[in-house]
Amino acid sequence: MTKRSQAVITTAEERPRDGWNDPVHGRISWHTLLSSDITPTDSMSAGIAELGPGDELKPHRHDPSEIYFIVEGSGIVRIDGEETTVRAGTTVFIPGNAEHGIRNESGAILKFFYVFPTGSFADVVYRFPEN
């Protein structure tokens, strides 16, 4: 019998904070909200990420496409070398394998909701350029 997805209602406060703080990845934290390894869901994974003032998720690639929805603050998204200013209310579609990153050049927190079309966030393999 195939396990069926279930409805899930959750908050960031209910999920552990994860993140990176190093020269390769940059400085970013996130809460994985939906992922088949932690919730009874499939086909999509999602979470909410936060960049403090001056923080950055360094340019990287991964196979699945991704969506960012800017919830709070403003920043600069770079996709395949093109930079665009984003602010609360902006939606960004990032094609699979496009090199992309996001940085916060403001003095306030930048929060964004992200979604991948894969059941488990663990299936998303981040590939960063060699230093």
Is residue 81 assigned to a domain?
yes
Q: What is the reported pLDDT for 1?
A: 45
Is residue 4 assigned to a domain?
no
Is residue 5 assigned to a domain?
no
Is residue 18 assigned to a domain?
no
Q: What is the reported pLDDT for 112?
A: 98
Overall number of domains in the chain: 1
Is residue 23 assigned to a domain?
no
Is residue 60 assigned to a domain?
yes
Q: For residue 43, what is the domain's CATH number?
A: 2.60.120.10
Contact criterion met (CB below 8 Å) for 59 and 30: no
Q: How far apart are CA 32 and CA 129, in angstroms?
A: 24
Q: In a structure prediction context, what are the per-residue pLDDT tens digits for the chain, which is 131 residues long?
A: 457 799 999 999 999 999 999 999 999 999 999 999 999 999 999 999 999 999 999 999 999 999 999 999 999 999 999 999 999 999 999 999 999 999 999 999 999 999 999 999 999 999 999 75
Question: Whole domain around residue 73: which residue ranges?
Answer: 29-123
Is residue 43 assigned to a domain?
yes
Q: How far apart are CA 45 and CA 32, in angstroms?
A: 8
Is residue 63 assigned to a domain?
yes
